[in-house]
Chains A and B, each alone.
Chain A
Amino acid sequence: MSDAAITVQDLTVGWDDFDLMREVSFEVAQGDVFVILGGSGCGKSTLLRHLIGLEVPKAGTIEIAGLGAPRIGDGAPPYGVMFQSGALFGSMTLAQNVGLPLRSWTGLDPDAVDAVVRDKLRLVGLDGFEHHLPAEISGGMKKRAGIARALALDPQLLFLDEPSAGLDPISAVELDELLLSLNRNLGVTTVLVTHELESIFKIASGCVMLDKERKGVIARGDPRELRDTSDDPSVRAFFNRTPRGDA
């Protein structure tokens, strides 16, 4: 039996007559920090939305270990998701945001929910901000709160869309440390979309690189190895930050 947390087979994504990517296949191993890479507009976030189950593919299959096809919407969520902006509910405090899945899907009494919420917020370095509204905190803090909410039900699979985009270098490094620590200490399989090369080399154990022109996967494997050994000019250009014409 495969130890893959996610198996993607011949996935075609697009709308109407347009295909954004065709016949994409890859696996995410259990316990990996797996990164979806590629230039702007190649469909990274769209692929992530398909993995989460927010979009239905035109063709192909996605299998999540122990779940089958991605299934989300009604019932306790089988995995945690953090959106690019954090997507916190503006009318709720951070504690209410993080406590929402706990109140909805566990039988915990309000005091127990509060204790778990405080613990999750402490985990992401937001203790003391329980009663702040999302509008009252910085972009980096919103992302951290988004991660705390995604972790509320202790998922074994975590999806993150550009977690460090728009963060200052120190906040970005702190976020990387947090993701690594969650992965090492809690064994959370993490799938993320990011452009940040430093972050990729630091935390990723596997990756898949998409290409807009070739409408599919152009590389897969350990990003450090791909940087050093890939013969593909687009892959080398991406990892070495060289303009397309010079690759």
Chain B
Amino acid sequence: MQSEPESYSLERREDEGGATLVLSGSVRLEHTPRFVATLRAAVDQSRGRLVFDLSGLERIDTGALALLLHEGRRHEAEVQGATGRVADVLELYRQAPQESLRHQPQRPGLLRQVGEVSEGLYLRGLQTLNYVGECVAAVGATARQPRSVPWRDVVRIMERAGADGLPIVILISFLIGLIMAFQSAVQLQQFGADIFVADLVGLVVTRELGPLMTAIVVAGRSGAAFSAELGTMKVSEEVDALTTLGLNPFRFLVIPRVAALVLALPLLTLIADLTGVVGGLITGVGILDLTPRAYLTETRLALEPWDVFSGVLKSVFFALAIALIACERGLSTSGGADGVGRSTTSAVVTTLFTLVALDAVFAVLFHLYGI
């Protein structure tokens, strides 16, 4: 935008007990920075009563007028003489509220902050307890009326959470088996214990990393999807609509997701176990010069059925944790798109923490019972 030459003038007249700033001409948007600087200088030089005389002003843009009034309020100046369009705009500004739009940050005391956080945790706890109660009630009601759950959705969700997630689960577990075998081979080779790479990979993959990594992948994919889906339904009143149709959201939305994941995750875990062992086999054959038969025989000798079953058992609990946490975060969403984003992030973070914590609990329990 080409700047127009300045077409206004500002004159300061000293009189008894104060000063009058006489503004004339036309003040446009592009003149505003220089106009404000000139005005401030004139205002700062003035002592006593201050008057803005706008009688000679033909036009002023709203931004410039807002700054003029702001300067006037700072010095309790009187604005007079405005006519025509200037008077109209002035009237508009006088009607507008004068409170500052700038947010005044409140600084609550430490005690108050502690109280607020404690209250938040207490309410969150109550909410979670209520959710667990609703879920238990929904399971009971489902057992009495199995047809009240849309089982057809279970197949659809299983396909999305299970079959569609298979490539990434296979890729990650294969790479984990490969990396683990490679790292352990470097150490075990020094003792001539190359063959024990098969034992290590087999045990660690089936008991720990297979179930855990699969659960983490599913939490990132399906847990986030559940939370976002239910959160969007919540903010767009679809959950309320379900309630008004007499359909319990827990039975209609939560039970199918929990059931689908409890069925899909153990299957994915078994596939992850298998591909993890294949990853180790590739390293064993490629780097340690083991034969495939020797590697597989050693793996078979190292693994007990319980090793595989314990991983599958853990995956059932992991599936429950992923689905329940994701659905809870989704159903407690408030606000709009921002709320959905927060719920989804919270669901993934809480689920990941819970998975690792659960895995630790299982490790301790299995150790205590010697299994």
When the two chains form their complex, are residues B243 and A72 in contact, meaning their CB atoms are under 8 A apart? yes
> Out of A76, A81, A104, which one reaches B241, CB within 8 Å?
A81
- B313 lies within 8 A of chain A by Cβ: no
B247 with A104: CB separation less than 8 A: yes
Interface residue tally on B, bucketed by range: 10 to 19
| Complex CA–CA separation, A101 to B252 (angstroms) | 12
- Say whether A85 faces chain B, with CB atoms less than 8 Å apart: yes
Inter-chain contacts of A74 with B (CB < 8 A): 141, 246, 248
**Residue of chain B at shortest CB distance from A78:** B246
Q: Does B236 contact A (CB under 8 A)?
A: yes
Provide the residues of chain B in CB contact with A104, threshold 8 Å: 148, 245-247
**A77 and B240 contacting across the interface, CB-CB below 8 Å:** no
Shortest C-beta distance, A204 to chain B (Å), equals 22
Which of A74, A75, A77, A88 has most chain B Cβ within 10 Å?
Answer: A74
| Chain A residues in 8 Å Cβ range of B242 | 89
Which of these, A75, A83, A105, A245, contacts B240 with CB under 8 Å?
A83
Residue in contact with B246 in the complex, picked from A84, A85, A101, CB distance below 8 Å: A101
Q: Which residue of A lies closest to B242 (CB)?
A: A89
Q: Which residues of chain A come closer than 8 Å to B141, judged between CB atoms? A: 74
Q: Which residues of A contact B236 (CB under 8 A)?
A: 85, 87
Minimal Cβ-Cβ distance residue in A for B147: A104
Give the interface size bracket for A toward B: 20 to 34
- In Å, the complex CA distance between A52 and B233 comes to 19
Cβ of A54 < 8 Å from any Cβ of B?
yes
Question: Is the Cβ of B246 less than 8 Å from the Cβ of A54?
Answer: no
A68 within 8 A of B: no
CB <8 Å contact, A52 and B246: no
Q: Are B240 and A54 touching (Cβ within 8 A)?
A: yes
Smallest Cβ-Cβ distance to B251: which chain A residue: A74
Closest 4 CB pairs of A and B: A87-B241, A81-B244, A87-B237, A83-B237
**Footprint of A on B, CB under 8 Å?**
95, 141, 148, 233, 236-238, 240-248
Given contacts A74-B246, A87-B237, A105-B246, 17 further A-B contacts (CB under 8 A): A52-B244, A72-B243, A72-B244, A73-B246, A74-B248, A75-B246, A77-B245, A81-B240, A81-B244, A83-B237, A89-B242, A90-B233, A90-B238, A101-B245, A101-B247, A149-B241, A245-B95
A interface list, Cβ under 8 A from B = 49, 52, 54, 72-77, 79-81, 83-85, 87-90, 100-101, 104-105, 149, 245
23 pairs from A and B in contact (CB 8 Å cutoff) = A54-B243, A72-B243, A73-B248, A74-B246, A74-B248, A76-B246, A77-B244, A81-B240, A83-B237, A84-B237, A85-B237, A87-B237, A87-B241, A88-B238, A88-B241, A89-B238, A100-B245, A101-B245, A104-B148, A104-B245, A104-B246, A104-B247, A149-B245
